[in-house]
Amino acid sequence: MTLRNTDLGTQPRQSESARRPKLIRVRFDDVGETLIEVLITLIVLSLCGVALIAGFGTVTIASSSYKSVATINNVIANASQDVIAELQQQSSAAFSPTCPLPTYSGLAFPGTAISGYRVSVTGVQVWNGSSFGSCTAPSTAAQLISLQATLTGSTVVLARFSVVVDSRGYAAATSITTPTTGLSASVGTAYTLPISSTVASTPGIYTESNLPPGLSVNASTGVISGTPTTASTFAGIVVTVTDNAGAVASTNAFAIRVNGGPTITVISPTSIKKAKTSALTITGTGFATGATVACTNSVTAASPTSITATQIVVNVTTPSNTGTFTCTVTRGGITSAPSQTLTITN
């Protein structure tokens, strides 16, 4: 009994003492886990804060970079305009066609509209017909001027760029004049029409549009020439010249009237004596220098003594017999219809 009481009395005490450490241990674990969770939460929040700050910083840097690029673009745009204005558009322009090429280093190019920047020349090249390079002789050809924009009072280069300028505006610019005379031609007759022009940077190249068939323009001189083959009024003709620097000038549209072949309206006198040389006056249209007269029935015609666009005077010799005959006029390979019938009398 005593043994059982002892067992019964001690067992509860052992069971209670065995449970207490477990309760303490459980509370300790809960507190630790809670602290760890708090620490983890703080770390995550800190990282988020760093990320937000970094993101804000990135946006700020990007925005600042964009503003810098925009500012530089404005510098280039405004500086280019100032350079061209100072070199070319002023009443006393600074452009110089000398060789060696000018440096333009003394120009300030003011008024860039953005304070804190200045523009300076870094090099000059001249157009030689196929590319920009060094000069071999004074020329009014276009010049490629290389420039750079820097911070005022600093050597920091913000941008490098270039502009092309030429002598137009204050030197003899390339130009061409629209013709107002000599605009009448005839089928089969050689025709020439000079075109007046000024080429600032030689040589110039001439082109045309809408010329009458048989006519063309000389690519080096601009002269229109040839032998028209079709009668009509050809409107909308334009001649264009392009100089060595790329400057282009064109005439206004004009027209050339091409008259048809020769036509005979009347011949006088209508009768002439046999075996005699007499003068005939042929009236008509489409006559020109070089025209010839031919007659039938053994009547021979000499070379015309005078020719205008509407009249030919020619000496003819009749045979020894009487009869009738007709005459024709040929110009540029085109022959008129026969004239009215003429009489050979005693």
Going residue by residue through the chain, which has 346 residues, state the pLDDT in tens, using 9 for 90 and above.
Answer: 333 433 434 444 444 444 443 333 433 344 444 555 544 554 555 554 444 444 444 444 344 444 555 666 666 666 666 666 666 554 455 677 778 888 876 666 644 445 667 777 888 888 887 788 888 888 778 888 888 877 777 778 877 777 777 665 344 468 899 999 999 988 888 899 999 998 877 788 999 999 999 999 999 999 999 999 888 999 999 999 998 778 899 999 999 999 888 899 999 999 999 999 999 999 998 888 889 999 999 999 999 999 998 999 999 999 999 999 999 999 877 889 899 999 999 9
Q: Token pair of 3, please? A: 């043994």
Contact by Cβ (8 Å): 144, 84: no
Determine the length of the chain.
346
Contact by Cβ (8 Å): 196, 167: no
Q: Which amino acid is residue 315, in one-letter code?
A: N
Contact by Cβ (8 Å): 119, 86: no
Query: What is the rounded distance in angstroms from the CA atom of residue 162 to the CA atom of residue 294?
Result: 71
Per-residue confidence (pLDDT) for residue 68, from 0 to 100: 56
Secondary structure (3-state) at 331: strand
Structural domains of the chain sorted by starting position, each given as residue range(s) with its CATH number in brackets: 20-170 (no CATH), 175-259 (2.60.40.10), 263-345 (2.60.40.10)
Per-residue confidence (pLDDT) for residue 82, from 0 to 100: 67
Strands 254-259 and 184-186: parallel
Query: What is the rounded distance in angstroms from the CA atom of residue 40 to the CA atom of residue 29?
Result: 16
* Residues 39, 43, 46: CA angle, nearest 5 degrees: 140
Q: Quick one: DSSP state of residue 130? A: S
Contact by Cβ (8 Å): 318, 271: no
Query: What is the rounded distance in angstroms from the CA atom of residue 171 to the CA atom of residue 243?
Result: 14
Q: Give, in order, the Cα–Cα distances in Å from 137 to each of 56, 125, 134.
A: 60, 12, 9
Q: Give, in order, the Cα–Cα distances in Å from 1 to each of 11, 12, 268.
A: 15, 17, 183
Per-residue confidence (pLDDT) for residue 27, from 0 to 100: 39
Global pTM reads: 0.41
